[in-house]
Structure 1
């Protein structure tokens, strides 16, 4: 394949002319030839070995040219991936300059010239210079170095140097098979932990992520160390793998190699991450040419996830094989559990190879036993293989078998290990077989910035989050959830709700409604009562409603609480829904969760709880609620005279007292009375640790630019507005309460930062004219990729209100709220309330608005003009 390029560099070295230019050009040509062969679907193994072979020739020719002839004191050795004879387009070429003695200086000039030559021709060379003794010393201390040294290959110089090194690093000299295995296993565990044990991250690392190439290399390293074999064929020879498993392993490796190869060619660097902005190109290279880019990417990524799941399965089984072979006490006797299962050396196994054939329900019984016996560390390799090879037994007859159904429901009623075993069931492919609808979401990607896991991974994360509420060690993490979950008598209903809440994703249609039907049928099929089946089905159908209500509705409004309570109906359903909602938001993307969302949801929970206690047929008397809040606020304002407070409160309508908490009313009143403000804007800032946000209170003249200028100022300060309430008093002043967060989702804590915010706000909102929009900031990498949400606006009227509700959906971007505020000013629209919601790449904001005379915006022409103004401002920016 690369014979022309090899011949070209050979001629250049022989003639000793234009070496740099020729070798640089040949190195570039190699990449282009490889690209052409990749497009022709040449076997990926051929491409990877071809680049390594060309590099061998180049290094050997350069060595002969630059290094002293016939010197037996130094050798050139390939290590690591290059030592295995594997080179991707932009992989580093790692070499060891192996010395017989500590005489580095004798070769310093020649080596410097050699390495400089490699850099000059564009070869990414990684090199170390060591004696044999230095190699041994460092390898003895460092698992990474011994791993590199067991993958060595002679390139140039005396072969005996490398042979001596290889003899001195054999398992009987340093790093026995047992210590090497344990160290590599721990290394893999820590690496997986770094990636949150999630192979199904939506931007996976092809090399380092769980199920990736490192997991395959892990198998190769242990095989090499234990069997002294350079080939994975040893796994077949020693019956660690069947021929089908071996073929599956090689197929997965070649797929991942091809993905990595395409990534390197596309990015022109050693890029190992399958980022969103590369996925379309890689999908196309794999033949996914769907007219919908999203479908093409999701189709390719599903194939990717299936391959890495297979790698994870084989990695687990093979490492268990090695564990039994290397570490186990071969004299230990099995301890019987029942006629089907026994424990050997703390690992579960079947009593005979035909257990599953004779008694298919044992396929689920195995996982049930693992939840019941905390002394069991895992499953023996031979049993893992038997489970995988008997998956075909899980058919309709199996699902209809009462014992199978009982095993599954009993598993969900255990107090230990449910999440671990459902993950294991998913890894072994049993969960998809037992619940076919779950099989449809395995590896199902959601190509957006909001979800960071595949649907099956997200589902199991939600289940894990729910389980953590029950564990005393995690009580401080979510104290409210940990307290509420103690009130539930049937935790399995919550687990089923978690398992089914997204099961209909990707089918088209309303996944909540479709999932509800699946959940109900499953529950009935598994012997749950009608009441319990209905709770699970309702949970699945309603799993988004609490999040939407808390984040997009004004939950200070009694009408909103009454409406939500009417949907929930009972305290039991409220408890289940609250717990599932918290677990779901955290399971979508851990970074999305913050104390503000926690406080919103718990506030909605408490308000709904009170409404349910009061009775759904009993409406809240708003005037009584206002009086109660005023009494409670007065109790907090003991340092002020009642006439002062009364004078202020007489300027405020009931709406103010309904939309603010007792603490907020007392805070506002205290700040206004203490400042005796007249014309200068009053600005006060308070970080609420319980609510998880920072409140900014602005008391100022009711200017038409006020909201827009405030948004511009806060944008300049790099603060995220998540809530805004604006009340106009009878004296022409407005009480504005903004809740903001830093970009990292935390409240403001630094005093100098607070002072800077106050100074900036006073400077900008004190102006009569609209401030200039802040300089546009660059979009993040992800925002650039997903910045394609078309702007949509919906308008609703609020019953018995002078307010119009405007829902705005558009692409998220820096400075968005400043743009929105500018449009409101230009269209003579007043903002009374705002709920700001960011969902990955797009926002879903709710604004409660009126015209400048505080009347609802109902005229069709005015609404269309407002709509057009937003389209022009947002879709052009």
Structure 2
């Protein structure tokens, strides 16, 4: 399609004359035997097609461009299909004196009509007739279609007259677009010319507005299906935002408004300057190369660049590792930079079209549409700027040359007045990025304009996204620019680093405006208490700028934050606060999800890091926004409850006074709550006195009065009905089912219960284990299903079955169901997961904290818990979290004597055994299982 790319020469790939000669020879050799003639013809054509595809594949792997490959594949297909047509019409169904009704033209339409074809793409054909179908043309078409199917083509086809094509084109924009791209392959040339002439005169003429509107709606619907962001980390190369179809749309619109004989002539119409043509060529070629590699790698028309395919495509396209920058992340960053260029090209194209086709109230690319007269210009009170057609425009590029700070101001003006940026202004911005120098970055007026957008903007996410798309944001804040389009190669994050960051900033803006009060009531209530919003928003903008940096993400991010904030002219106190928030932006999430927030030592340690209530408030909002912006479904009620509990416990420590010891304050707080809860429980239920006096303080701080009463009753029921009882309920506030099991404590109880939950399709997201002084255990699980919803939320029978199975397990009865097997790794196989195990005797006053991390799989919690049980350890609490393909399980354990695991030899043995479990796959070989059992046995000894 681009003008610099010439059609690939085919004589050394498929020699059309020689191919037809072989087909003729085969027809003559088997004359009189149509079955044999067809068989030999297909063998010859298959060989030619295979050879052509293999040559294209080899050239691609040796560095040929994507368009060159697509044109070569199209050329090979042309030769095969036209040779088949000649064979069919000469040797199989020859009309020696064809009548007017037997004229037939074979045309390529759709993508094949553009003469660019991916290895396993469909081929769209139009059999064009002058009148109604005759027996002869019907025979030719039928023979060809069956032959093409036998050759392995997936064929989209239609057989129509010229009149039918015109009629259907008026009614259906998909058909209209396919005929717009129609290309004659062979057959009656006059018939093809008639279709083209009538199509332009009777369909295209005077219908530019409706065609543009239809294509824009089609584009919007497509983007909606493929997610509205062009920065999804598993993009669709064909249909996604910033992908091939967006480029096709540009050419369709230009070609429709200005019909040309050859699609490459679109580039001579004046819509694009030399630089923009180069951008189009680069993007079109790169995306076609990626698509061709995808097809060849999978052997099918795969359009989605999934995690499991990304490393292979990166390798095929010649990307290698560089220092801490893996090949796959380098390749994907290139992909997203191309997608961004496609977005900028779309805006530029719209600006060119608007000089000819104007609309009074444009929206997005609908500004292409024609209207009556040009849009009115409304002067603004800012020199050099005006409102035009409901968008912000500039007097000319000299505005930025006169004062480069206007490259920042333009976005503040657009935000304050809630205006979209005019395409002419956007284009001028992108062409003047070089004016943003170190002087502009240190200009106080530029800093003020930027901070107004960031911390006080009306539509912060939209404006920052526009700044990022134009290249201004990364240019003005180079630390952010370093992570623009940077890939995060894991299954946890759904977006690139910059898109995730901008979404997180947008979440804070939404919280501040009260738009997320139901999801984040605590965050909303504390936002009015935060005086320094600039620090909060800047910390969020800069929180991931340390990814891949020296010394780790947190330290590198803090350095980057200091550099950016110093350049913005902030005072030292604010700079250090922002740097602290960036360095510690993961701390609250880690403590809430991996530690026991009812343990005074946990709260004290967290309070010691945070140091004051203002940091606590800032860190809570930052953490909520960060998690929520990771991707769809990552934030849920369970995480929200954990955050609220940690926040409340830490706030209580700070209320204890500046001079108090955090641990002592947390213990006093816990003891006070426990004493009051005991008294309340006994007063409400005198029969619960023994239970209340036998339970530790930590139990009473974890539950409310109604829950405590229900637990006491459940414990009594367990004693009555054979030693175990279970209850279940859906907790919408935690996005999980709460399952409580009361049973006589014994070795391996927790592991047996975890096995039942996993075997019946549940994923444990959190667990607390309490044991009374009388030896009765109370295990509380919060469980989701494989979709991340509360298990049993739409089927109460699942919860009843779970309760029955857990009661049986609590009594020591063996499981009667088939355990769930691990699914195929699929996309997760692309990730190398290094298992880790950490033992910490400092994190808790009376327990050892064991954190085990590795590849997630069904039954992992049970396997880890079984090892701990075999080692003679009691699990006090378990905290389960997942990060895409990685599981992180933290256990608080005690020895049989009620203390910490202090024996170094046993601790090392336990660590090695846990690593064995993390490395093992479910259904491991018989050779692997005994090794694991021997390791467990050594720990038990």
Give me the TM-score of the superposition, normalised by structure 1: 0.93
Note closer, same or farther for the CA distance 1:407–1:108 as it changes in structure 2 (3 Å cut).
same
- What are the superposed Cα offsets for residues 278-313 of structure 1, whole Å, 9 maximum, x if unpaired? 222221222223388971111222222222211111
1:44 matched to 2:58? The reply is no
Unpaired stretches in structure 1, ≥5 consecutive residues? none
Task: Tell which deviates more after alignment, 686-695 or 818-827.
Answer: 818-827
**CA-to-aligned-CA distance 1:53-97 (integer Å, 9 cap, x gap):** 221222222223335544545432211110011111111111122
Structure 1 window deviating more from structure 2 (445-454 vs 433-442): it is 445-454
Per the TM alignment, residue 138 of structure 1 is displaced from its structure 2 partner at its CA by 3.7
Q: How does 1:45-124 map to 2 (within 5 A)?
A: 45-67=67-89, 68=93, 69=95, 70=98, 72-103=102-133, 107-124=137-154
Shift of the 103–470 alpha-carbon distance from structure 1 to 2, 3 Å rule, reads: farther
The change in CA–CA distance for 1:170 and 1:472 in structure 2 (over 3 A counts) is farther
> Using a 3 Å threshold, how does the CA distance of structure 1 residues 769 and 825 change in structure 2: closer, same or farther?
farther
Partner of 1:588: helix, strand, or coil?
A: coil
Of 583, 602, 607, which aligns to 2:644? 602
1:446 and 2:488 aligned: yes
What is the aligned counterpart of 1:241 among 251, 272, 287?
Answer: 272
Distance 1:799 1:307 in 2: 47
- Give the match for residue 573 of structure 1: 615
Pick which of 129-138 and 42-51 moved more.
Answer: 129-138
Instruction: Please tell me whether the aligned partners of residues 442 and 569 of structure 2 are also in contact (alpha carbons under 8 angstroms).
Output: no
- Per-residue CA distance 1:382-421 (angstroms, 9 max, x = gap): x222212211111112212222222212222434122212
Q: 1:28 aligns with which of 32, 50, 56?
A: 50
Q: CA deviation at 1:496?
A: 1.1
Which whole-Å deviations, capped at 9, do the CAs of 1:5-28 have from their partners, x for residues lacking one? 344532332122411112122222
Q: Distance in 1 between matches of 2:502 and 2:296?
A: 35
Q: Separation in 1 of the partners of 2:324 and 2:826?
A: 18
Provide closer, same or farther for how the CA distance between residues 557 and 113 of structure 1 changes in structure 2, counting only shifts above 3 A.
same
Match of 1:792 in 2: 836
Distance 1:138 1:535, change over 3 A: farther
Change over 3 Å in CA distance of 1:862–1:297 after alignment to 2: same
- Given that 2:66 and 2:287 are in contact with CA atoms closer than 8 Å, whether structure 1 keeps it comes out as no
Deviation at 1:547, TM superposition (A): 0.7
| Residue in structure 2 matched with residue 700 of structure 1 by the alignment | 743
Match of 1:5 among 2, 14, 23: 14
CA change 1:231–1:97 in 2 (3 A) is: closer
Superposed CA deviations along residues 425-454 of structure 1, whole A, max 9, x for unmatched, are 111111111111112111211222222222
C-alpha change, 1:31 and 1:763, in structure 2 (3 Å) is farther
In 2, the alpha carbon distance for the partners of 1:658 and 1:510 equals 36
RMSD over aligned CA atoms reads: 2.6
Match of 1:780 among 795, 809, 825: 825
Matches of 1:800 and 1:445, distance apart in 2: 37
Q: Which of residues 256, 267, 270 in structure 1 aligns to 2:287? A: 256
Q: Which moved more, 1:653-662 or 1:621-630?
A: 653-662
- Is 1:165 the counterpart of 2:195 in the alignment? yes
Of the three residues 475, 485, 503, the one matched with 2:545 is: 503
What SS is found at the alignment partner of 2:740? strand
| Distance change (3 Å), C-alpha of 1:616 and 1:180 | farther
Secondary structure at the aligned position of 1:591 is classed as coil
Question: Secondary structure of the equivalent of 2:482?
Answer: helix
Shift, 1:150, TM fit:
0.9
Work out the CA distance in 2 between the residues paired with 1:372 and 1:217.
35
Q: Which residue of 2 aligns with 1:409?
A: 451
Is 1:657 the equivalent of 2:687? no
Displacement of 1:657: 2.1
Equivalent of 1:349 in 374, 393, 411: 393
The structural deviation recorded for 1:672 is 3.0
Conservation of the 8 A alpha-carbon contact between 1:409 and 1:526: no
C-alpha separation between the residues in 1 aligned to 2:265 and 2:73?
26
Structure 2 residue 370 is the aligned partner of structure 1 residue 370: no
Distance 1:626 1:42, change over 3 A: closer
Segment drifting more, 653-662 vs 74-83: 653-662
Residue 199 of structure 2 corresponds to residue 151 of structure 1: no
Assess if the C-alpha contact under 8 Å between 1:235 and 1:241 holds in 2.
Answer: no
Cα separation, 2, equivalents of 1:223 and 1:800: 68
Equivalent in the alignment of 1:279:
310
Check conservation: 1:463, 1:583, Cα contact below 8 A: yes
Aligned partners of 1:683, 1:832: CA distance in 2, in Å? 19
Provide the rounded CA distance (Å) in 2 between the counterparts of 1:166 and 1:667. Answer: 79
User: Superposition pairs for residues 547-696 of structure 1, below 5 Å?
Assistant: 547-618=589-660, 619-620=665-666, 621=668, 622-633=670-681, 637=684, 640=685, 642=686, 644-673=687-716, 677=720, 679-696=722-739
Whole-angstrom CA distance in 2 between matches of 1:634 and 1:320: 76
Q: CA deviation at 1:349?
A: 1.8
Distance 2:819 2:551 in 1: 41
Residues 334, 557 of structure 1: alpha-carbon distance in 2 compared, 3 angstrom cutoff: same
The yes-or-no answer on 1:845 pairing with 2:893 is no
Residues 734 and 331 (structure 1), Cα distance of their counterparts in 2 relative to 1, 3 Å cut: closer
Q: Give 1:552 shift.
A: 0.8
- Partner SS for 2:734: coil
Whether contact under 8 Å (1:178, 1:327) holds in the other structure is no
In the alignment, is the contact (CA less than 8 A) between 2:129 and 2:162 conserved in 1?
yes
2:774 is aligned to: 731
Match of 1:810 in 2: 854
Cross-structure match for 2:938: none
Cα distance 1:128–1:470, how it changes in 2: closer, same or farther (>3 A)?
A: farther
Matched residue SS, 1:325: coil
2:471 maps to 1:429: yes
Contact 2:104/2:129 (8 A) holds in 1: yes
In structure 2, the residue corresponding to 1:831 is in which secondary structure?
strand
1:857 Cα deviation after fit: 1.7
Mapped partners of 1:673, 1:766: distance in 2 = 15
The yes-or-no answer on 1:397 pairing with 2:406 is: no
1:299 aligns with 2:330: yes
Q: 1:505 to 1:447 in 2, by over 3 A?
A: same
1:462 match? 504
Q: Secondary structure at the match of 2:280?
A: helix
Query: 3-state DSSP class of the match of 1:809?
Result: strand
Match of 1:270 in 2: 301
Task: Answer yes or no: is the 8 Å Cα contact 1:136–1:168 preserved in 2.
Answer: yes
Please tell me whether the aligned partners of residues 742 and 778 of structure 2 are also in contact (alpha carbons under 8 angstroms). Answer: yes
**What secondary structure, in the 3-state scheme, does the structure 1 residue paired with 2:720 have?**
coil
User: Comparing 176-185 with 139-148, which one deviates more in the overlay?
Assistant: 139-148
Superimposed CA distance per residue, residues 114-138 of structure 1 (whole angstroms, 9 cap, x where no aligned partner): 2111111112222123344443444
Contact 2:554 / 2:582 at 8 angstroms: preserved in 1? yes
Shift of 1:168: 4.1
Q: How does 1:164-183 map to 2 (within 5 A)?
A: 164-170=194-200, 173=203, 176-183=207-214
Q: In the superposition, relative to structure 1, how do residues 556 and 771 fare at CA in structure 2: closer, same or farther (>3 Å)?
A: farther
Structure 1 match to 2:236: 205
- CA separation of 1:821 and 1:414: change in aligned 2, threshold 3 A: closer
Hey, what's the Cα distance between the residues in 2 that align with 1:28 and 1:765? 63
Distance in 1 (alpha carbons) for counterparts of 2:324 and 2:55: 28
What SS does structure 2 have at the residue aligned with 1:446? coil
Q: Deviations for 1:522-555, whole angstroms, at most 9, x for unmatched residues?
A: 3344343444333322221221111111101111
Specify the alignment match of 2:806 in structure 1: 761
Equivalent residue for 2:405? 361
> What is the CA–CA distance in structure 2 between the aligned matches of 1:799 and 1:472, rounded to whole Å?
37
Tell me, in whole angstroms, the C-alpha distance in 2 between the residues paired with 1:611 and 1:654: 17
> Which region of structure 1 is more displaced relative to structure 2, 262-271 or 156-165?
156-165
Alpha-carbon displacement from aligned partner over 1:824-873 (angstroms, at most 9, x marks no partner): 23333322211111112212211111234433221122112212222333
Residue number in structure 2 paired with 1:125: 155
CA contact (8 A) 1:370 1:417 kept: no
Q: What is the CA–CA distance in structure 1 between the aligned matches of 2:107 and 2:188, rounded to whole Å?
A: 10
